[in-house]
Amino acid sequence: MLSVFDIYKIGIGPSSSHTLGPMNASLAFLDLLEKTGVFEKTWRVRVTLFGSLALTGKGHGTDRAVFAGLEGRRAETCDTEEVRTGLKRGKEKGTLLLGGVKPIRFKEGDIEFDFGRRLDLHPNALFYEAFDREKRRLAHLIVYSVGGGFIATEEQLEKSGITHPKADGVSIISAKQLLGGAAGKGGGFRKTGPEEDAGAIGDLPTGNVAFSCPFEFSTMEELEEIVKREGKSIAEIVLENEKEARPPDEIEAKMKSVWRTMLACVSDGVHSRAKELPGVLHVPRRAPGAARQLLKGMQDPFTLNPEDLKSLRATVRGNTAASEWVGVFAMAVNEENADGGRIITAPTNGSAGIIPAVLHYMYAFLDGDWEKVKTFFLTSFAVGYLCKKLASISGAEGGCQAEVGSACSMAAAGLCAVFGGTPRQIEKAAEIGIEHNLGLTCDPVAGLVQIPCIERNAIAANTAINAARLAMIGPESHIVSLDTALATMKRTGDDMRSEYRETSKGGLAVSVAIPEC
């Protein structure tokens, strides 16, 4: 099993697979250099990005994230402004502070975007190489960023048994072919075979914390059987499992930290003074103005005290106004994400606005409290875990159905649990949430997590609320199970052409005119 806090991670924008995962990959490479005793000998580092990491890496800030990780910065604690500006500073000074302590040479080409090739095991791959002063390769590491900030080695991917969709229009190579190529392409580095450097590493130390627990489940059907047998709710089963990883007081503290980060993200988003988001599209920030418009002169309720949110009920004149607030909550988060701000993967950064928006709605308009927030987190985790295990939470693997669809399904389940739904109703809500996102493509314009991502989160947040309400009326039984819907999502993602899986080579990404820089 995974921990609740593997799905709900504190990080930074704009992308969990393109920012958080690569930062974790860089930290894993630093760990390899230390463990193999070559850290002090390292004079130069090169990183090559493949597949989606190359094709949309500039817009997703992947090069900035790789650089920040190599300097030892961690997404959950770093200064976000240092991540935004660190790469530029490194290029200007020609220096990278390896691990935050050792200055080494750096130039722009040391982080290379390989637009024409993709590794065979996964669309998101990074190839790290370290060289000494004589330009001999000391170490290498191939890492795959598999969505939600999770990373994996080739061995871990092969053990998982998960297959990944084919690529269209690019050359597919194996890790063996990659290692057999010229080391340090274009840099005059000496070629060495993989057996000549420190290239072996076991399970990666970040992003993949699995543990044994009393109530293992691999499908929703299995989880429902456990719930029925034990006489507990889904949230209670998840909590019992989580206690195997950490003590109850730590679980409580970490959940409160996640909730506070979500509150702060919405608050930062509605209070931002920036007029537009970074990038060539010049997308305006909309959440601040929309919040002022809906407040109609009332006192600003966006503080770290969630009780203040309840004053928003006075602004509502029917359900339409409540749904407008849901849109504001989601846009606030995703605008912060697009600007590289502090974020919670839920389960990814590209879908990070949906769950905070539904939680803010629950707290503001449905008399929320901390116990309801906990129930929401624990229940939604179970669905997020199944989305990752049975399908995908990576846009590069399965399109946006894997990100926004998974988050919508999670939020619907969490809210249904807060409504007092039965396990079957919760499963029904989750199924509705994913079913009506099946086939959703990932086609970010200009490779930026802005269009259509921000509005898509606002729409999906309201869809999650509707899914939870639909699940609470009528019969508990329904024809399509969540397990079936997730299997369908996996097949749909596999069938989807690569142009629609976070490559910016299809859909809106090639239909919208991009302004000249």
Q: Which domains does the chain have, with CATH numbers?
A: 12-183 (3.30.1330.90), 220-511 (no CATH)
3-state secondary structure of 102: strand
Check whether 429 has a pLDDT greater than 50: yes
Q: Does an H or E element contain 362, and which?
A: helix 354-365
Per-residue model confidence (pLDDT) at position 230: 98
Check whether 300 has a pLDDT greater than 90: yes
pLDDT per residue as tens digits for the range 93-119? 999 999 999 999 999 899 999 999 999
pLDDT band at residue 168 under the 50/70/90 scheme: low
Question: Crossing angle for the helix pair 354-365 and 404-418, nearest 10 degrees?
Answer: 20
Question: What proportion of the chain, given as a percentage, has pLDDT over 90?
Answer: 84
- Give mean pLDDT, residues 415-437: 98
Per-residue model confidence (pLDDT) at position 432: 98
The total of other beta-carbon atoms located within 10 Å of residue 320's CB is 8
Check whether 25 has a pLDDT greater than 60: yes
pLDDT per residue as tens digits for the range 216-274? 999 999 999 999 999 999 999 999 999 999 999 999 999 999 999 999 999 999 999 99
Check whether 160 has a pLDDT greater than 90: no
**Cα–Cα distance between 468 and 474 in angstroms, integer?**
12
Q: Are 218 and 385 in contact (CB under 8 A)?
A: no
The lowest-confidence range among 193-197, 295-299, 385-389, 397-401 is 193-197
Check whether 209 has a pLDDT greater than 70: no
Flag whether the pTM goes above 0.85: yes
Beta bridge partners of residue 109, listed in sequence order = none
Per-residue model confidence (pLDDT) at position 199: 57
